[in-house]
Structures are given as structure tokens and as C-alpha cells.
Amino acid sequence: MKRTRTVLLLAALLCVGFGTWLIAADHIDAPAVTGQTTDITDLYVFRGENPDNIVFVANTQGLLSPAQTAMTSFDENSLLEFNIDTNGDNVEDLVIQAVKKNGKMRIYGPYKPDVTGTTSYISPNSFTAEADITQYGEAPKIQTQRGLTVFAGPRDDPFFFDLTQFKKILAGQATGFNNPGHDAFAGTNVMSVVVEVPKSELGGGNSMNVWLETKKKTGEIQ
């Protein structure tokens, strides 16, 4: 049996309760991954339209213009990993892994990983679902398998931030934000992976800590 070995490149984290949702945003703040497929912009976790489900969203490769988006894709050598801590010890008890393979986004988990921390393994036995990757300008290709619903492809960046006003506040030229403000990310896109999972697959607790990692493949272990 082959297992893909990966190493940590970048992480974003989030704490969430099943009744609420929070966000963490990071746009081109990490020089080591800026412009790469592993550059995380946002992590979102929230209750689904079906209240028995939780939705996980990983956004990467931010600030893409429409022309750039048409030429952008996911990388088969990069792993997106949602780490889920169900008991509050800040160690992942479950992972949901996403990796591109043959034009599809393959989802593994949620399952208990063999190892924790900066190294990850993808076990073929944990494969759960996959979806065709939506290309820029296409209607979303959303597919459901084994209770998981999956989407992968470009989306308009959902994060709102008035960067111009923020800079004025820092410079002492303003005391607060305007309502409405100006969305600095308007007209830009991200590459998004969305996985909707039944709560029953996530340990049955009332809250969890979630953080997102992107990792690069370093080799294969038999």
C-alpha cells in the first residue's frame, strides 16, 4: 500500500462552535508561498443549509484577476488539509484531506490520522468522495458521494475588507471604518475547495477547533 508523505508549508487556524462561525483571512502575507498554489487566503467553517451538516471551505491563490483565474489550477503535488480538534487539546483528532488527481478533487476523510503535526500521510483506504474541478466560467460542478458534498474551482473572493480605510486609520487620518466601506477584494477570485460533512462524522461534540494547512508532497512510502 502506498501512502503519500507531505510536509507542512503554511497554516491558517479557526475556532468554531456548531452554532456559530468565524473566519480567518490572510492575503499574500507569507512571502514564501505568495503566488503559489499553497498560498492560503481564507478558512471558513459553518453550519450547512441542512443543520445536521458542517461546511468546510479552503480558499487559496487570492487576488486573481479574471484573466489570471482562467489560467490558474490546483496542483497535484499540493495537499489541502482541514485539521479538526474535537477535545480541545490543539491536536488534530480528525483530518479532511483534498488533493487534485486526474482533473478531479479527491477527498479523504474525515478520519483519524496516523500521525499528527507537520507531516501528513494520505491513506487510500480513507478515500470518501471526489468532484470534477470546475473551470473558470463554467457552472459549478457539485457532487455528492457517501454523504459528503464537494466543490472545487474558482470563486469570487468572499472576504470583505476596506484596505484603503484601514491604511488611513493606521496613519491617523481616520478614526474608524465607513458604512458602507469599499471592498478591496472586489473583482478578484480565489481557488476554492468546499466539503460539506454530516456532523455525525465529526465526533459528536458541540464544538471543535479547526485549522487549515497546505502541504507539498515530498515522496511516497510503500
User: Residue 133 has what DSSP assignment?
Assistant: P
- Coil, helix or strand at residue 139: coil
Tens digit of pLDDT for each residue in 160-208? 888 899 899 999 999 999 998 998 888 999 999 999 999 999 987 778 9
In the chain, the percentage of residues whose pLDDT exceeds 70 is 82
Contact 37, 60 (CB under 8 A): yes
pLDDT tens-place string over residues 80-94: 999 999 998 999 999
Q: Tell me whether residue 181 is in a domain.
A: no
- Name the residue range of residue 22's domain: 3-159+190-221
Residue 130's pLDDT is 97
Contact criterion met (CB below 8 Å) for 80 and 60 = yes
Cis ω for the linkage preceding 110 (within 30 of 0): yes
In a domain, 169, yes or no: no
Contact between 38 and 9 under an 8 Å Cβ cutoff? The reply is yes
Considering the domain boundaries, does residue 183 fall inside one?
A: no
Q: Is 114 helix (H, G, I), strand (E, B) or coil?
A: coil
Q: Record the pTM.
A: 0.84
User: Do the domain assignments include residue 171?
Assistant: no
Q: What is the CA 83 to chain-centroid distance, rounded?
A: 10
Cell digits for 220? 511516497
Tens of pLDDT, residue by residue over 177-189, are 999 899 888 899 9
68 within domain boundaries? yes
- Flag whether 20 is in a domain: yes
Count of domains in the chain?
A: 1
Residue whose C-alpha cell reads 457552472 in the numeric block: 139
Say if residue 10's pLDDT is above 80. Answer: no
